Amino acid sequence: EEEKADYIEKIKRLLEEKNAVMIAHYYVDDELQALAEQTGGYVSDSLDMANFGAKHPAETLVVCGVRFMGETAKILSPEKTVIMPTLEAECSLDLGCPIDAFSEFCDQHPDRVVVVYANTSVEVKARADWIVTSSNAIQIIDALKAEGKKIIWGPDRHLGQYIKNKTDADMLLWQGHCVVHDEFKLYELEQLMAKYPDAEVLVHPESPEAVIAKADFVGSTKQIIAAGKASKADTLIIATDYGLFYKMSQAVPDKRLIPAPTGGKSATCKSCAHCPWMAMNTLVNLHKTLVEMNNTIEVDEDIRQKALIPLNRMLNFSY
Ligand code: 13P
Ligand code: SF4
């Protein structure tokens, strides 16, 4: 604990010295989320993280999350230094959608608009016509459908299927998945719902279709927190990464929060659903990165320019 406090103090000083600001995702450790908040940084979902970084005047953005989040920050702020506590923090959606195979898939369907989730590499983004996150995907697909467009969707098959069901758009789905959300289990969820019949069920749309079908609310991490606040229920069952419980319990301190079960594990264990890559961000490697100013995100300028077009389309899209 003493050692932790020591790291926290050192990190605070370094952030000031280096004119750096922390931008953290809800899924990183509580202590990193708290530190971001205490130092004038920000904790949010992937869409808001991108917006915050682009608008903030700091010279250096310290992105605590996974690589695609650092890359998105760099695409939007090429003049800034973007560093991350570790460059090893990947995402199964990004890894499961390599540019060559995805590009070939797109080439086979030249009549379709290419819409990709933010959880992709900068190269995949550069191949896309649109980028979306789970907080605006339905609205953007709806707008494209209204224009009569047929769509290629990548990489998350569950989110893709959910949007397809919702909008009835003509979508061809890449078959990627998030290793964390893919683990939520219908049977165990039903048992939990039977035990807490008045609970409301909040689900991230990267979860399997059968789990989404049980939800009272489906949305991005930030939208799940807002839905929790708006809910009249005393108990919330939440199907997303356990990291979200930190901000969720601040938002609704009087509610009982229960993690949705992942298979055979206990319904309340801390290891129920937690992204192994998000967990790679620690006070120790954050401190080291700030001292050494290493782990910088670099993006080829030509590819960056291409990726910026669909990214700006998303940021300028209002609904
Ligand atoms: P959000 O856009 O909801 O923050 O999701 C990002 C993510 O990686 C979810 O697993
Ligand atoms: Fe990727 Fe899933 Fe981890 Fe989010 S939780 S970063 S989608 S692997």
Q: Which domains does the chain have, with CATH numbers?
A: 2-89+278-299 (3.40.50.10800), 93-179 (3.40.50.10800), 181-259 (3.40.50.10800)
Quick: pLDDT tens for 67-103. Answer: 999 999 999 999 999 999 999 999 999 999 999 999 9
Q: Identify the pLDDT of residue 267.
A: 52
| pLDDT band at residue 268 under the 50/70/90 scheme | low
| pLDDT band at residue 271 under the 50/70/90 scheme | low
CA dist., res. 246 & res. 268, Å (int) = 14
Q: How far is the CA of 72 from the centre of ligand 2 (A)?
A: 15
Beta-bridged to residue 130, according to DSSP, are 115
Instruction: Kindly report the average pLDDT of the chain as a whole number.
Output: 95
Residue with CA at minimum distance from ligand 2 atom 5: 275
ipTM: 0.97
Question: Is 92 a pocket residue for ligand 2 (Cβ < 6 Å)?
Answer: yes
Is the bond preceding residue 155 a cis peptide, omega within 30 degrees?
yes
Q: Identify the pLDDT of residue 319.
A: 62
pTM of the model: 0.95
Beta-bridged to residue 82, according to DSSP, are 61
Closest CA to 86 of 107, 69, 110, 111: 69
Secondary structure of residue 90 in the 3-state scheme: coil
CB 244 within 8 A of CB 224: yes
Q: How far is the CA of 178 from the centre of ligand 1 (A)?
A: 10
Q: Is the pLDDT of residue 54 over 70?
A: yes
Q: How far is the CA of 276 from the centre of ligand 2 (A)?
A: 8
Q: H-type helices in the chain, by residue range?
A: 2-17, 30-38, 46-55, 67-76, 92-95, 99-107, 122-127, 137-146, 157-167, 186-195, 209-212, 221-230, 244-251, 283-292, 301-316
Q: Is the pLDDT of residue 285 over 60?
A: yes
